[in-house]
A and B are shown apart, each in its own frame.
Chain A
Amino acid sequence: MSPAGSADRPGPVRLGYGAELEQLRLQTEVMGLRVDQNLERMRQVLVTGDPRLAATALAADDEIDAMNVSLTERCYEVLARENPVASDLRLVVSVVRVISELERVGDLCLRVVKVAVDHERLTAQARPFDILCVMADESIDLFRAALRAWATDDLDLATELAIGPRSLDLAYAQLVDALVRLDGPDAAAAAMQALVAGQALERIADHAAILGTRLRYLITGDPNHLATEVRR
């Protein structure tokens, strides 16, 4: 038994276990930051169409995927070895779910990047392009808020993300409205391209909301907060 593990003395026992859980939490945050970097690249590619930056983003996503795999494995290991319960169990299961959300956001980000490389067509129509840029800004803001809530265990922020208004709904409706009004020989192709990007950005915002609900449940353990995330 470790020196700190005596039953007669109050104090932390299972020191390695606590450190492992903290590592899971931190590594999840690191993965979130990698996704955030790629979202920033996405925004730049959307504005500039830079193919070199697009290639960097594609390569970076492989690292994000690898992190998803290795973190998932670590969660399995902790579950098998330590039998976590109570808030520990919620943390490990939340990490599994949160990293798959992050991985998904990474994929959606790439979807926008791939579309944005064809910059000439994307920028040919000013209004849809402007709306897309606004949507990119808003979705990134929401994702960062989710990341901040995770890093600081902020229940208020998590709740706001989980049940707050969905600001991108309006922008998405405006985008669709603008796209159906397009005409000209290239209209259909341009509309499809912009729609793919717009849907991806809207989904990123949705995932930020889901991250909020996951964190909310992790903090409170209230089953009703699980129901909220199903409804989302």
Chain B
Amino acid sequence: MTPDQTTAAEPVVEPVVTIAADRAPEPGPAPETAPVVFDVRDLNVYYGAFRAIRDANLHIHRNEVTAFIGPSGCGKSTMLRCFDRMNDLIEGARVEGSVKYHGVDLYGDKIDPVEVRKRIGMVFQKPNPFPKSIYDNIAFGPKLAGIKGDMHEIVERALRQAALWDEVKDRLKKSAIGLSGGQQQRLCIARAIAVAPEVILMDEPCSALDPIATARIEDLMQELKSQYTIVIVTHNMQQAARVSDRTAFFTTEVNETSDTRTGVLVEYDVTDKMFSNPTDERTENYVTGRFG
């Protein structure tokens, strides 16, 4: 307490009492204050006869970073791809249950997947810039989407938001392939931002990057979340603990009838709780690294 906050006339209060009173009790999950962007209900995803995800339910909140963690093959990337209907591009993929985006069923009859992907951008594991100039990489999306306005301004804003502008402003016409891995990944983030989406999905965006480049992307996520809703799949648990507000833990269940595995959502809670005191023993075992 600073001196100006208290007066000499005030009785001396034991500071420990203040500490105890300041701590609001948090029974169960944190209050869900941020509006829900995605509302997933009883989601089942199949690839042909194979069920990749079983009965998943969760809410993604606006202006938060949500992390999906879990062992390989647990369905976290599949879940991510449900949000921008990328699974549509896979032969035999089928989605049951509902994925609502601001209350609208993403898998409704009248929904155009292309329209969905304009609002929901995706950044992949391996940076995948087009073999074009840095400028054209960013301008491509807005042009295709028919976004009107000063294209230079759009490109600059996207590059600035992706914390790349200062590094590339003098070589915008040079090939994007000449950038470092970390720069390429930030370029891909800038490219996703350029079409002004509401949500950015990231599928292991740092797994191909060194620690410095990773730290930059992580910082970037913190800056971007004030404007965007971010969902990230990561194998790096410390990364999930560092960047996300909420964490969903998925794992695999071996099916009794066949030798296949299905992904299940085990626990979904505020990240602090998931990494300090998870409710489900399977989460505890996974985050502590006892069982893979």
B278 within 8 A of A: yes
A155 within 8 A of B: no
Within 8 A of A (CB), among B128-163: none
Q: Distance (Å) between the CB of A43 and the closest chain B CB?
A: 32
Once A and B bind, how many residue pairs between them come within 8 Å at the CB atom? Answer: 60
- Given the complex, which residues of A lie within 8 Å of B238, measured CB to CB? 83
- Given the complex, which residues of B lie within 8 Å of A11, measured CB to CB? 291
A 47-80 binary contact with B (CB < 8 Å = 1; else 0): 0000000000000000000000000000000000
- Given the complex, which residues of A lie within 8 Å of B20, measured CB to CB? 227, 230-231
Assuming A7-B72, A85-B237, is B291 touching A221 (CB within 8 A)?
Answer: no
| Cβ contact within 8 Å between B291 and A88 | no
Contact residues of B with A, CB < 8 Å? Answer: 16-17, 19-20, 23, 25-26, 71-72, 237-238, 241, 275-278, 283-284, 287-292
Cross-chain contact of A13 among B17, B72, B283, B289 (Cβ < 8 A):
B289
Contact residues of A with B, CB < 8 Å? Answer: 5-7, 10-14, 17-18, 82-90, 221-224, 227, 230-231
| Cβ contact within 8 Å between B290 and A85 | no
Q: With A and B bound together, what is the CA distance between A10 and B286 in angstroms?
A: 11
A-B residue pairs in contact (CB < 8 Å), sample of 12: A7-B71, A13-B291, A13-B292, A14-B290, A84-B288, A85-B237, A86-B275, A87-B288, A88-B288, A227-B20, A230-B19, A231-B17
| Cβ contact within 8 Å between A223 and B241 | no
- Given the complex, which residues of B lie within 8 Å of A6, measured CB to CB? 292
| Cβ contact within 8 Å between A12 and B288 | no
| Cβ contact within 8 Å between B284 and A86 | yes
| Cβ contact within 8 Å between B288 and A227 | no
- Given the complex, which residues of A lie within 8 Å of B278, measured CB to CB? 86
